[in-house]
Amino acid sequence: MCASLWDELEALQAAVIACATDPESSAWRDLAQVMGTAVRADPSVARLWPQDATRERPAEVSLMLHLAERLHQVMLRDTATRQAVNEWLHDHPGPVPAPSAPVSEATANNIGGNSVLHGPSVQARDIHGGIHFHPSFPKLSPRPPVPRQLPPVTARFVDREADRRALDVLRAQRSTHAPQVLVVTGIAGVGKTALATRWLYEHADSFPDGQLYADLGEQSVFGENGPISPGIVLEAFLVALGASSVPTGIAHRSALWRSMTSGLRLAVLLDSAFTAAQVRPILLGTPTGLTVVTSRNNLTGLRVDGASVHRLKGLPPESAVELLAMGGGTRVAREPAAAREVVRLCGRIPLAVALASAQLALRPHRSVSALAESLSRDRGAVDTLRVDGEAVMRAALDMSYDVLPADSRALYCRMGLLPTDRHDLSLLTALADDGEASRDTGQTTDNAVHALVEANLLEETGPGVYRFHDLVQPHARLLGGELEELARPERTFRRFVDWCLATTASAESILAPSHRLPGYDLPAGTIPTTPLDGPEEALAWLDTHRNGLMGAVRLSARFGWHYSCWRLTDLMWPLFLRLRPSEMWIEAHRLGLEAARRSRSRHGEGRMLTSGAIGLRNAGRYPEAADWYRQALELATADDDIRQQAQAVSGLGHISLLTHRLDEARSHFEHALRLRESIGYRRGAALSRRRLGETALAGGDLATAAELLRQAVTELDSLGETYEATRVLALLGHVLDRGGDHEGGVRRLREALARFQAGEARSEHWEARCLEWLGQAAESHGDHAESVRHYEAARELFRRLSPEDAQRLDDRLRQP
């Protein structure tokens, strides 16, 4: 125990023993009231109070010493008890020692020889009554002020209500027997310190014994960034709590720290921690306190020790715009779209948004659009947002990067160069090896990825799938461009494109085996691919990586890798067919068509023309789509390719159907059917019957439509073409409902809907179409509530897929 606490205890013991000599005194009665306060904090203290003490039989000294010690323990952790004891000591301070005088030979008690007895003594023949000695005790040392060390809350703090509630939930889950530790983690600038500080201020009443703060990542005395020794932090904390002397060595300081804080209701904020090892010696040892740790790292070691972890992400878009408006004022309200773009480019990271806000405040005549344009250039917000000439966000991210292992730094830079927002572990392994992937390469890559995740520079979004934060990716790209060995990044790009080709080919073989182009199989085993287990996983992979795949198509066009460009576009057919990203569909096929022509691949040119025409058709660009189909027909006719001729003719028929030229459409579809039957192409023949059924539906001939669609669905089911069969099944259900067979139609529509929502036939586009048709069926049957429910569900899907269809359903829902 430190000197001041020891003096405090001795003073309390002296006063308690003094008043115990007269249990009828006011000091004794007032002490009983103090005991009432202490018992409310610790009921076990009541057992030490001598109920039968009288003037003739005062309480034993040993019992009163024990009582004073327990009172002292309670007052260390309970503010009310401390206040009551201090007031009692003020009114009843106990004996005041007389001024000490030198012991002279005349007053000394000589007891034979050279023995000397110092202090009070009695020499008498007869003694009647009690004799009481009152030893001298030091005066009560003044208690140091309750530490309130938290940094001030920033004036630019906005929102974070959900995060504060999350911390409340974690705190409520604390064990009553174990110390509680909360870790707030996240990338640089995300506002970890601001959140932790604000939250602790909100709960200040829960920590009456103080709030301590230490920045574990501040600069050392040599001006270098690095972890502060826990011994330095412990010394400062012990002094703040009143220790008059601090032992040397971290172990001794940590032991004293746990002793002094035992039972205290104390909050400790350890800011910018580097590692779990740096934090452990400073952790409280009592369940009555709370330690909050902020770190750019995940501090997995503390999680293993039982800490609760909350990962802080960027602000919600509305809150980020609110923060931007603090400096941008009314300009932000006048340019809402530009403001949203600014906060997007800032990754909704509070530090970056605050820097952007400060730039607007500094330049009151600058528009928000001009700021957005500046941030969208190559170097982005990471390098553009500066304070006193320093790129603050870059400096913060550089600090996280600098402490990474060498393998992680190299991988970080390579990943930054890639035009993708998702990275599979198999891709990262492909980037790390030289074409000879091994177990060692895979383990090295996994370790490198783990370090990036631990540093919050990378986050795992699914099993073996990772992404950069929006603000981290530009930083990785900058470093990748500056790293000398990556000055010529063609190898990295080549590995990325090859990985996209191999894994997309795997997805195509699962989702659309009939689309495979014979003679163009990729060499097996040349690069590690992501394993895809079934149709749902294959489609989910295409959806997750759609932006990266498009980036690989653009890269191939840029570097003149013509075969890779058109071949990857062709392999992405299941993505285009199921997910219908119309602008990507068109762009990829324009690049792919040019690449096929440059590589003199007639097969590639034909595939790009027919598949690309479908994308143009779905986007409503009918004249251009028809022109692509005609080019494909001329090419196929010249090559005597019957299958491609039928594909082009069927496409022209679909354009005619969509533009309500039904006779022309029927003629094209019948021609395509004959071509396909002539070569025994059963799947194609079934799809031609489907188109003829749609044409009959458009002409009002529901019986013919139903018959053609029944034939088509039976044939496709027999071929195992689940997706195409389900599309025809949905169309048949719609036709039957229109024709008066409400029950049969709804049954088929519901069956098709279940298939489109999960499994091999997964398709949000067709899910939405089924829902709309079910809405029409309910409406025609007089069930208004059911129809509205289906229409609203279809509209939500179409909002992501087809704004025109969503608008059409909006209009329908507004009708009475």
Number of Cβ within a 10 Å radius of residue 815? 5
Asked if the model's pLDDT at residue 379 lies above 90, the reply is no
Check: CB of residue 382 under 8 Å from CB of residue 391.
yes
Mean pLDDT to the nearest integer, 27-47? 84
- Phi first, then psi: what are they for 21, rounded to 5°? -70, -15
For 445-467, the pLDDT digits (tens) are 999 999 999 988 999 988 889 99
User: pLDDT-based confidence at 522, cuts 50/70/90?
Assistant: confident
For 341-369, the pLDDT digits (tens) are 999 989 899 999 999 998 899 889 899 99
For 253-297, the pLDDT digits (tens) are 999 999 889 889 999 999 999 899 999 999 998 899 999 999 999
Q: Which residue's entry shows tokens 């103090």?
A: 34
388: left (phi over 0), alpha (psi -120 to 50) or beta: left
For 211-252, the pLDDT digits (tens) are 999 999 864 433 445 678 899 999 999 989 888 788 888 999
Judge: domain 161-311, CATH 3.40.50.300.
yes
540-544, 741-745, 800-804: the lowest-pLDDT one: 800-804
Please measure the distance between the N-terminal and C-terminal CA atoms of the chain and give it in whole angstroms. 81
- Helix (H) / strand (E) element for 771: namely helix 764-780
427-436, 518-527, 793-802: the lowest-pLDDT one: 427-436
- Angle, CA of 782, 786 and 792, to the nearest 5°: 125
Check: CB of residue 276 under 8 Å from CB of residue 302.
yes
Q: What gap in Å lies between CA 744 and CA 539, rounded to an integer?
A: 30
- The pTM of the full predicted model, rounded to 2 decimals, is 0.72
For 3-19, the pLDDT digits (tens) are 455 567 777 888 888 88
Q: What gap in Å lies between CA 774 and CA 772, rounded to an integer?
A: 5
For 706-718, the pLDDT digits (tens) are 999 999 999 999 9
User: pLDDT-based confidence at 64, cuts 50/70/90?
Assistant: confident
Asked if the model's pLDDT at residue 433 lies above 90, the reply is no
- Phi first, then psi: what are they for 471, rounded to 5°? -90, -20
639: helix, coil or strand?
coil
> What is the pLDDT at residue 217?
81
Query: Which residue, 393, 345, 338, is CA-closest to 366?
Result: 338
Q: What gap in Å lies between CA 39 and CA 45, rounded to an integer?
A: 6
> What is the pLDDT at residue 71?
84
Number of Cβ within a 10 Å radius of residue 627? 14
Q: Which residues on adjacent β-strands are paired with residue 466?
A: 423, 460
Check: CB of residue 711 under 8 Å from CB of residue 735.
no
Greatest Cα-to-Cα distance within the chain, rounded to the nearest angstrom: 141
Check: CB of residue 145 under 8 Å from CB of residue 240.
no
Mean pLDDT to the nearest integer, 567-589? 95
Q: Which residues on adjacent β-strands are paired with residue 292?
A: 182, 269
Tell me the domain boundaries of the chain.
3-96, 161-311, 317-376, 767-816
For 96-135, the pLDDT digits (tens) are 544 444 444 444 445 454 444 444 555 555 555 555 544 4
> What is the pLDDT at residue 742?
94
